[in-house]
Amino acid sequence: MAMLTGPTPIIRFWSQQRRIASGGMSFDLFSKSDDWCLEFLRFTKEQICEMTYLLDVPATFPDRYAAPPTTALALVCYRLAWPLRLKDCMLEFGHERGWLSVIFNHTCVHINNRFKTMLRWNDHQLTPETISRYCAKTQERGEPSGLVWGFIDGTHKQVCRPRPETVDQEELYSGHKHMHSLQYLAVVTPDELISCLEGPYEGRRGDWAMWKDGMQEIVLEKAWDGDGDRVYLFGDRAFFLEEGVIGAYRRERGIPLTEDESVFNTYMAKQRMAVEWGFGKVMQLFQFTNLKLNMKYGLSPLACYYFVSVILTNCHTCYFDSKAAMSFGCSPPAIRQYFGLSAEEEEDMNLYLADYCRR
């Protein structure tokens, strides 16, 4: 058996990669073209700058690390957009894995902590007038009552099988999906924004249990239309008729559905696809959470990754609209309206963009 007498090409490449990464090169967002930014970051340079202000991205990080806020947000978008390893980001951002890991994870945790409450219920977006508009758009698509303002469903995000000492594996195992997962319950409105998001829940939970445990309370408190009437979410057969939510009609044993009930289920099944489109858009734009090998329960802030992906997807919808929103004829709000900026905050944002981001 021949013995290795010198460094292998892999070792030489890794050593070269380390030297390049620590050689002082830094990422410069403004040197990139908008085409490159759209391909790898999902947003243009100007949009990244606006989102840096809107998401309040920090500039200082633990362990004495520092990074420009635009670079920190660009790293988050770059890595979430595709299931990249940290060493895949080294050549692009000019730093070693330790720096990349701290900046990426701390920025995700910061955005999650700052805006998780807004994802649960956005008072700036979900006003009675806006909810009335949602009800009108669903009625135009065939919903008869004019009282359905959104569509509710749960989604599984597969994770690696956890170690027994970390968590009871049976808690995360979904017998329905036959995998270990975390679950989230979401409401998608006709403008294809994920307007409410609850989670994470263990994989064995059902949609109805997630509704009763988390989202029901806030929906019953705040979901009213402009006339003060109770409005409803529509879900699949996992949901029952109850205040705040309705599901598809179920056939009783030996009693078939009436013609009207069957027609209602058919019409609403087509409209309910909006919630699947919402989940699909998150998966399409930010695929990092789709690879279960990245989702190591107990070692990484998995819920933060998904919540940040949803926030960024909503920002993308505000900037670029969507086919689903156009099918409902319901345009999403402008990005500043979505975050509820006041006149003073908009003025501060304009000054921030003029002083820092626009070159």
Confidence of residue 16 (pLDDT cuts 50, 70, 90): very low
- pLDDT beyond 50 at 14: no
* Residue 223 belongs to a domain: yes
Q: Confirm whether 227 is domain-assigned.
A: yes
Does one domain contain both 111 and 132?
no
Per residue in 153-192, pLDDT (tens digit) is 999 898 888 877 667 778 888 887 888 889 999 999 999 9
| pLDDT class of 357 with cuts at 50, 70, 90 | low
Cis peptide before 200 (omega within 30 of 0): yes
Q: Are residues 271 and 133 in the same domain?
A: yes
Q: Are 103 and 68 in contact (CB under 8 A)?
A: no
pLDDT for the residue numbered 139: 86
Pair 82, 167 in one domain: no
Q: How high is the pLDDT of residue 335?
A: 94
Largest Cα separation within the chain, whole Å, is 83
DSSP 62: G
Do 99 and 173 reside in the same domain of the chain? no
Q: Beta strands of the chain (E only): which ranges?
A: 148-158, 173-174, 179-188, 194-202, 232-235, 245-247
Residue 32 identity (one-letter amino acid): K
Whether 17 has a pLDDT exceeding 50, the answer reads: no
**Euclidean distance between CA atoms 228 and 54, whole angstroms:** 32
Residues 182 and 229 in one domain: yes
Tokens 């509710």 -> residue: 152
Percent of the chain residues topping a pLDDT of 70? 91
Same domain, 145 and 161: yes
- pLDDT bracket for residue 30 (50, 70, 90): confident
What's the pTM value of the predicted model, to 2 decimals? 0.87
Name the strand (E) or helix (H) holding 45.
helix 45-54
Please tell me whether residues 102 and 234 are part of one structural domain: no
149 lies in the same domain as 287: yes
Rounded-to-integer distance, Cα 165 and Cα 23, Å = 41
Domain contains 304: no
Asked whether residue 316 is assigned to any structural domain, the reply reads no
Is the domain of 142 the same as that of 285?
Answer: yes
Domain boundary among 276, 299, 322: 299
Q: Which amino acid is at 287?
A: Q
Q: Domain range for residue 279?
A: 126-299
Dump pLDDT digits (tens) for 183-234: 999 999 999 999 999 989 988 888 888 988 888 888 888 888 878 888 999 8
Alpha-carbon span 317 to 315, nearest angstrom: 5
Are 70 and 210 in the same domain?
A: no
